[in-house]
Each structure stands twice: as C-alpha cells, then as structure tokens.
Amino acid sequence: MAKNLLIVESPAKAKTIEGYLGKDFTVKSSYGHIRDLVKSDDAINIASNFEQKYEVPADKKAIVSELKKLAKEAETVWLASDEDREGEAISWHLFETLGLKDATTKRIVFHEITKPAILKAIDNPRKIDYNLVNAQQARRVLDRLVGFELSPVLWKKVKPSLSAGRVQSVAVRLIVDREREINKFNAEAAFRIAATFGKGREAFKAELSERYSKQDDAEKFLTDCVPATYKVNSLDTKPAKRSPAAPFTTSTLQQEASRKLGFSVSRTMQVAQKLYEAGKITYMRTDSVNLSDTAINAAKAQIISAYGDQYYTMRKYKTKSASAQEAHEAIRPTYFDVHTVDGDNSEKRLYELIWKRAIASQMSEAQFEKTTAKIGIYTRKEELTANGEVMKFDGFLKVYLESRDDEDNEQDDDNSMLPPLAVGQVLTLSEMTATERYSRPPARYAEASLVKKLEELGIGRPSTYAPTISTIQNRGYVVKEDRDGRTRDFRVLTLKGGNINKETRTENTGAERNKLFPTDIGAVVTDFLVQYFNGIVDFHFTADVEEQFDKIAQGLEEWTDMIRKFYQPFHIEVENTLKVADRATGERDLGVHPESGKKISVRIGRYGPFVQVGDNATEEGDEKPLYASLRAGQMIETITLEDALELFKLPKKIGFFEEKDMTVAIGKFGPYIRHNSAFYSLPKGIDPLDVTEPQAIEIIEAKRVKDAERLIKTFDENPEVKILNGRWGPYIEFEKLNVKIPKGKEPLELTFDEVKALADATPKDVKKGRFGKAAPKAAAAKAPAAKKAPAKKAPAKKAAPKKK
C-alpha cells in the first residue's frame, strides 16, 4: 500500500498528478464536495448560532467510504483541493468526514497542474485555513437562508414550486429589466449621408458626421451637392495597433463559442469537459487568465518555430474581475504542439478555438496605418470623412486569418483601403445617398451575454453559469427562442448623375435568434421581489456580501456575526411580507369590450396568462365570463386590447369535409386545421382568420399525398399501423405512438408481431418525452426490481391496456 494518499477534486486531475508522483502516492478524487447541508428546513439551527447539519448525499457514499479506507491505510493524507473558498471547505469536510488526524494530514495547494508546481506544493504543506472555511460556511448558509425562506413566500404569494435565490433572481431581473427598456425605447430616425467617390478598384466611401432628422434638410444637402466639386482638404496618417485578447476563462469561452460556433452555454461546457477528460485542455471552469511558465514557454517555442521570432511577445494577463478566485490556470491546450484533436466535429472546432486564442495571447500586436481624409464640398461648409486602414504587420492576427472566412463574417466597411490620395486632389463623385436610419434599442440578452453581465456583477461562479441559465428557463421565468421582427419603411434619397431620386424601402427590424425573453411569471416574480426584497435582488448585493466574506477569510470578522446581521432584518421582511402582501397575479385592465361594454383584463392563472371578458360569476345564474390563453410571445404587460380580442376569434369552424367539421386554431407550433382528430399545419403566409373551406380541403389533401409518399409499409393485421420515412429515418406509427426502429433492423423486413413488441416496449405515459422528470424515477425503480418477481409484473401491466 502506498504511503501517501493525495486527494484532489477532479478525477482527470488525479490521473495526471499520479503520473508525476510515482508509486509512493495514491492519488484519488473527491468528485467535488462530499457533504452538504441536509435537505430539510432544520439544516441550520438559527437559535444555536447558525449551527449546521451536514450529510453525505447518497451518490457520494461510495466515494467517501473508499477514501475512508485508503486514508486509514496511508501514513500521510495530502488534501489537495483547489486553493479557493470552496476548495478549502472541501478539504475541511474531508478532514471531518474521513476522521483524519492533524499530525498525519497535510494541506497543499497549486494553481497549475505541472510537475514542478506539484512538487513545490508538496515541499510546502500547510494546515487547513479555518478562516477561509468559515467564509465558505457563511456563503453556504446565506444562500440556503435566502433560497429557503424566499421560495416559500413565492409559493404562497405567486405560484407553487417557484424559486428565488441570490443568483437566479438577479439573472431573471436583468432580463426583465432589459425587456422593459426595449419596450420603452423610442426609435428615432435620422438621415445619414454617404458618398462614393471614384470607380472600380479606386472607389471608396466617405461619410458626413452630421445627421439630419428632417428629410428636408437631407434633401437640401443633396441638392446643394448637385453642382458641387470635391477636393481632398487634408490627409492624416497615423500608426495604430491591436493587441490580442487574454486566453479563455469559462465566461469568455462561452461567449466566443456562442458567437463563432453557435454553441449554447451548456453545449460549450459539455464539449470542453470531453476535451479536458481526454487530456487535451486544462480545466474548463476557471476565472483566471493566467498561464503557467511551462505553458508560456511551450507557446513561445510553437510561435517561433511556426511563424518566426518577430511574432512572439511574452504577455502576462491580469484578471480584471474583483470576485475572481484564480484557483486554476486559464483554459489552454495541454500541449501547444497539438494543433487538432480527434473526436467529433464540435470537439475539433472548440479545441481549435482554444488553441488559437491561447497561442495568439502570446503573439505580437498587429500594426496598422490609419488614414483619415477630409473632403471639402465646394457648395457647403461641411466636410466628408473617409477612413482607411492598411495592415503593416499581422502579428497575432495571423492565427485568426487562417480560418477567417468561415468563422468571422463581420466586415467593417469603414476600415477598408483607400486609394492613394493627395491634398488638393479633385475627386469625382459617383453617388451620394441620404439614408434614413433608426436608432437601436439595447440588445436582448443571449445566454452568453447574460453570463458576461453576471460575471461583471460578480454574481455566480464558473461552475454555475451554465446551470443558472438552465434553472431560470426550467422555472419558466425566461424562454430562449427566435422571434420574427416587423417590417418598417425607411426613406432613401440618391444623388446620381445630377438627379435626386427618392424612394421608400422596407427593412426587417427586431428579429431575434436564440435570445432570452422574460415570461409573465418572470416579470411578476421580479416585481414582487423588487417590491418586498429589494436588498436581495439589488445588483450589488453579491458584491457587498463578498466583501464581508473576504473579511471573514482574513480573520477580521466572525462569520456568525455577519450572518446574524444579515438574517435578523431579512427574516423580519419575510414575516412581514407573508402578512401584508397580496397575491401577485400581474393583473392588468385592458379596458372594456367595444360592443358589449364588458370589462377586459389579463392576469396569470393556473394554466398561465389569460384574458378574461366580463366579471366573475358570483351568484347562481350570473353570466359566466369568457377566457382565452395568451399566445407565445404575448405578455400581460404589453398586450393590446385589439390583440386580446383577436384571441377570441379562434378556434373557428371553417366548414365540412368528409362529414366532419374543420376548425382552424393557433397552437404551440403555429396555426393549424383540425379535422377528424388530425392536425394539419397551415402553410406560412395564410392568415388563419381568412382560411376558406376549399383552401382547407386542399391543405388536408396535400398533406395526405405527402404522407403517402413517406409510407414504406403497412400491415394486413392492422391497416392503421404504418412504417414511415421521417426526418431522422424510418419510424413506426402505432396508435398515435411514434416508435423508433432499433439499429440493425431493416424496416421492410419487420413483421407485425415485431412491430407490436417494439410498440409495447415504448413507454406510453412519457408524453412526447423530452428528457423529463420520469428518468430518475425509472432509475430508482430499476434497482430493487432487478431482483425477482416484481420485474416480470411491470411489463405485463404496461402491455395490458394497449390491447384494446
């Protein structure tokens, strides 16, 4: 048995370190935290100085008992969890749970997984830092108190199962606030003047810095320019440079992978995890931009051999964010001489991105020559400005240039090249335009830009960015989706060949892809929290408590004092809110019905937001109000009276076909026709309110023809059972159930009995199965069922109801 047991947090890290240390060391991993507060409400005893009740969760039991056994056998246990608040606490929990002894336990830390760093750490052991542990306890207890006192308030005052917390509630608030800014925003239009001089290769653009809000002024300018001549008044050339960005942290990797590869935040982390486990990159959950000396030297060798000396500049980066804990290196390739990796396409692309960013971070700056030409107009006092940029030395941009075409299509016209010009030179105008341009509202958050904002505010940690984004979507506070824009007109005046031409063009505005939108519930919960718990959802709350955690970590403050000071007023607020706050439904009056004069209002109900026409029926015989659910994209706070009334026009009967009604309605996936319990989606461009009977019949028949084309096979035993060609290959349609055909089965050769068996094996109760909550239950049921009799019962039960 090895004399030494060394424990780190991650198994991949353990493997690497084991290779550095030889056979005197057994290196194991704790898989993160091994203990947590018990799930129940008595986890923290407030009366007894916030004493905590911890437990080892079920999925950590096995690893804890293994570590316990190894620790007993070892002479020395080395606690090598990360050097930050959480890492120190992990070491402490290990110490307590494994029953370690002070004399035979050593705490070591390193910021990078390199052999010299590990050896140096082993030469410099220390004791567990209890101040740091206390700071973590304060963090943990505060989050539990906030989360588990606030959430129940929402259950009572808004809706069951909702949640609130220090991090998620601010994330939602950011999105709600931004949506309101966008709604409030008034776009202002102004005319922008642009001129093109010269022809062909010599052509270049110049712009006027002034904007005209009135068309008359823009037109006057163009009219004045009709007889004008143009001359270069001045030329100014000066050098400019651009420096590379720091190597990736979790947050910048998520942003860049989103922009350049279109990855969601969680996809980025999944792919990065694979690369990390394969030993291709360093740890992917980090807030540090630091590179180890080993890495800097490896990058240097790579840059000099591939591009030459002049491309290398040693750079050390400093983290800007105050909340960073820097327990790891920046994200970088483990080996800089590995330019590509095996694996699927996304792994290759993400690795390439990481490699380029890390290499570029040690390269020379790019140098440019920027030229500004001021162009005089004989008939006006204003000058036009043309900008040109010439690259003198590519520097770090060399690394990006290689694959620029497919990953970077943002071309800034402003900085294209200028032809050779001289002061006093007379220019020939080929065209001048005055284009009406609208100011743009603030941008909606996408996943990655929300992470960026949270990081700036110091809220959340690298390991929680992706889960936080999922939580606020799972709770229904926020949806990620595409939305169509609206068309709007803009005017363009063009001066060409001495004539001014006026036209109106249209553009699409406000279209969004993969953006985060608040839901009504998100808005109502945010308003509620802002009203009653402003301190918690304040954007500076985390930064403020972090400051106090730091004081605790430095031994300047007692953690229980800090928590007490926070908790006492907070708890009073909770009690008070429970007493005084009304139920929050987001109710808003839209006015009265134009014909009947009945009251029209919107609010959140049991099944989501809806419109109500007429008052509640209070007595027997009262007329009942009408209801209609809001559609995707509609919100209580922005819906208009007209849109609300539209909701009552559908579903609508549009005629008869084959002795059955046809109705048209709008569902989750857009407008559709319902006929004989089947759905037929309406082709784009047809207004569901205008669909005629013959049109509907045509749509139904067209869908049938298409389905017939997809048909592969039917069965004599039951003509309703079909094998069809779907988007992802052939599948079986069995009594409204879509059944996947297992790999290796030829669909044409399947017999009816085989098909039936496949259908019976497909769970029917998992509706339209997304990876839902059914999964953990099935897993839990599996273990005991595997033993004997009950195992046979389950499938028999399932098959029975399907027979009829």
Partner DNA sequence: CAGTGAGCGAGCTTCCGCTTGACTT
Q: Could you identify the residue written with the tokens 């019962």?
A: 793
Contact call for residue 667 and DNA (CB under 7 A): yes
**Amino acid making up residue 701:** E
CB of 767 to DNA, least distance (A): 7
To the nearest whole angstrom, how small is the minimum distance from the Cβ of residue 59 to DNA? 7
Binding mask 109-148 for DNA (x = CB under 7 A): -------------------------------x--xx-xxx
Residue 691: CB atoms within 10 Å: 19
Give the per-residue contact string, 334-363, with DNA (x = CB under 7 A; - = no).
------------------------------
List Cα–Cα distances, 91 to 3, 67, 83, 140, 244, in angstroms: 19, 13, 10, 15, 38
Q: In this complex, which beta carbon is closest to DNA, that of residue 71 or of residue 172?
A: 172
> Using the rule CB under 7 A, which residue among 417, 778, 791, 800 binds DNA?
778
> What's the min distance (Å) between Cβ of 459 and DNA?
7
Q: Which is nearer to DNA, 473 or 509 (CB)?
A: 473
Contacts of 195 (CB under 8 A, 6+ apart): 205, 206, 207, 208, 230, 375, 384, 429, 431, 432, 433
Q: Of 2, 4, 11, 558, which lies in the binding site for DNA, with binding defined by CB under 7 A? A: 11
Q: Which residues are catalytic?
A: 283
Give min distance, CB of 658 to DNA, in A: 20
Q: Phi, psi at residue 803, to the nearest 5°? A: -65, -35
Question: How many residues bind to DNA according to rule CB under 7 A?
Answer: 85
Per-residue b or e along 618-647, where b marks 16 or more CB atoms closer than 10 Å to that residue's CB? eeeeeeebeebebeeebbbbebeeeebbbb
Q: Which stretch binds DNA (CB under 7 A): 81-89, 179-187, 501-509, 688-696?
A: 81-89
- Does 151 contact DNA by CB under 7 A? yes
3-state SS assignment for residue 472: helix
**Closer by beta carbon to DNA, 476 or else 510:** 476
Q: How far is it, in rounded angstroms, from Cα 586 to Cα 709?
A: 49
Binder of DNA out of 404, 513, 710, 782 (CB under 7 A): 782
Q: Which is nearer to DNA, 628 or 799 (CB)?
A: 628
How many Å apart are CA 407 and CA 257, to the nearest integer? 11
Strand arrangement of the beta sheet that strand 660-667 belongs to = 652-657, 660-667, 670-675, 678-681
The C-alpha atoms of residue 462 and residue 468 are separated, in whole angstroms, by 10
Q: Output 59 or 412, the one with its CB closest to DNA.
A: 59
Binding DNA by CB under 7 A: which of 4, 514, 695, 762? 762
| Site map (CB under 7 A) of DNA, residues 469-488, x = contact | --x---x-------------
DSSP-H helix ranges across 57-193: 61-73, 85-97, 115-123, 130-157, 168-184
Locate 604 and state its tokens: 């959140």
Decide: is 665 part of the binding site for DNA (CB under 7 A).
yes
- Residue 460's Cβ-count burial label (10 Å; 0-12, 13-18, 19+) is buried
Q: Which of 278, 391, 479, 628 binds DNA (CB under 7 A)?
A: 628
Our finding on whether 726 is near DNA (CB under 7 A) is no
Tell me which of 349, 461, 722, 756 binds DNA, using CB under 7 A.
Answer: 461
Is 533 among the residues that bind DNA (CB under 7 A)? no
Instruction: Report the residue number, 605 or 694, with the smaller CB distance to DNA.
Output: 605
- Interaction with DNA in 674-703: which residues (CB under 7 A)? 679, 681
Shortest Å distance, C-beta 617 to DNA: 8
Q: Does 633 bind DNA (CB under 7 A)?
A: no
Q: How far apart are CA 280 and CA 12, in angstroms?
A: 11
> Among residues 22, 160, 200, 597, which is the contact residue for DNA, using CB under 7 A?
160
Q: How far apart are CA 396 and CA 303, in angstroms?
A: 10
Q: Give phi and psi for 417, each to the nearest 5.
A: -80, 150
Q: Does 273 bind DNA (CB under 7 A)?
A: yes
The answer to whether 733 contacts DNA (rule: CB under 7 A) is no
- Contacts by 700-704, CB closer than 8 A, 24 or more apart: 700/657, 700/662, 700/673, 700/675
Give every CB contact of residue 84 below 8 A, 6+ residues apart in sequence. 325, 326, 327
- Find the part of the chain contacting DNA (CB under 7 A) among 455-463, 561-569, 593-601, 792-800: 455-463
Element (H, E) at 560: helix 559-580
13 lies in the binding site for DNA (CB under 7 A): yes
555 binds DNA (CB under 7 A): no
**Considering only residues 616, 642, 690, 796, which one is a binding residue for DNA as defined by CB under 7 A?**
616
Contact call for residue 672 and DNA (CB under 7 A)? yes
Taking alpha carbons only, the member of 768, 724, 780, 775 closest to residue 750 is 724
**Residue 607 binds to DNA (criterion: CB under 7 A):** yes
Question: What does DSSP assign to residue 365?
Answer: P
| Residue entry with tokens 């539209």 | 646
Selected binder of DNA within 73, 75, 277, 456 (CB under 7 A): 277
Torsion 316-321-327-328 (CA) sign: negative
* Residue closer to DNA, measured from CB, 656 or 679: 679
With helix as H, strand as E and coil as C, how does 780-792 read? Answer: HHHHHHCCCCHHH
279 binds DNA (CB under 7 A): no
85 binds DNA (CB under 7 A): yes
Residue 142 or 225 having the CB closest to DNA: 142
Q: Please say which residue, 277 or 589, places its beta carbon nearer to DNA.
A: 277
CB of 10 to DNA, least distance (A): 3
Q: Can residue 267 be called a binding residue for DNA (CB under 7 A)? A: no
DSSP state of 195: E
16 touching DNA, by CB under 7 A: no
Give 172: exposed, middle or buried? Use CB within 10 Å, 0-12, 13-18, 19+. Answer: buried
285 belongs to the binding site for DNA (CB under 7 A): yes
> Measuring CA to CA, which residue among 215, 218, 225 is closest to residue 496?
225
CB count within 10 Å of CB 706 equals 9
Near DNA by CB under 7 A: residue from 104, 379, 531, 629: 629
| Cα 513 to Cα 419: distance, rounded to the nearest angstrom | 39
User: Can residue 58 be called a binding residue for DNA (CB under 7 A)?
Assistant: no
The count of other CB atoms within 10 Å of the CB of residue 686 is 15
Instruction: Choose between 33 and 267: whose C-beta lies nearer to DNA.
Output: 33
Outline where DSSP puts E strands in 260-310: none
Which residue, 78 or 191, is less far from DNA as judged by CB? 78
Q: Output 81 or 105, the one with its CB closest to DNA.
A: 81
Q: Which is nearer to DNA, 76 or 270 (CB)?
A: 270
By CB under 7 A, tell whether 606 contacts DNA: yes
Over the window 21 to 50, marking each residue x when it contacts DNA by CB under 7 A and - when it does not, the resulting string is --------x-xxx--xx-xxx---------
Determine the interface stretch with DNA among 159-167, 179-187, 194-202, 558-566 (rule: CB under 7 A): 159-167
Window contacting DNA (CB under 7 A); options: 46-54, 84-92, 113-121, 189-197: 84-92
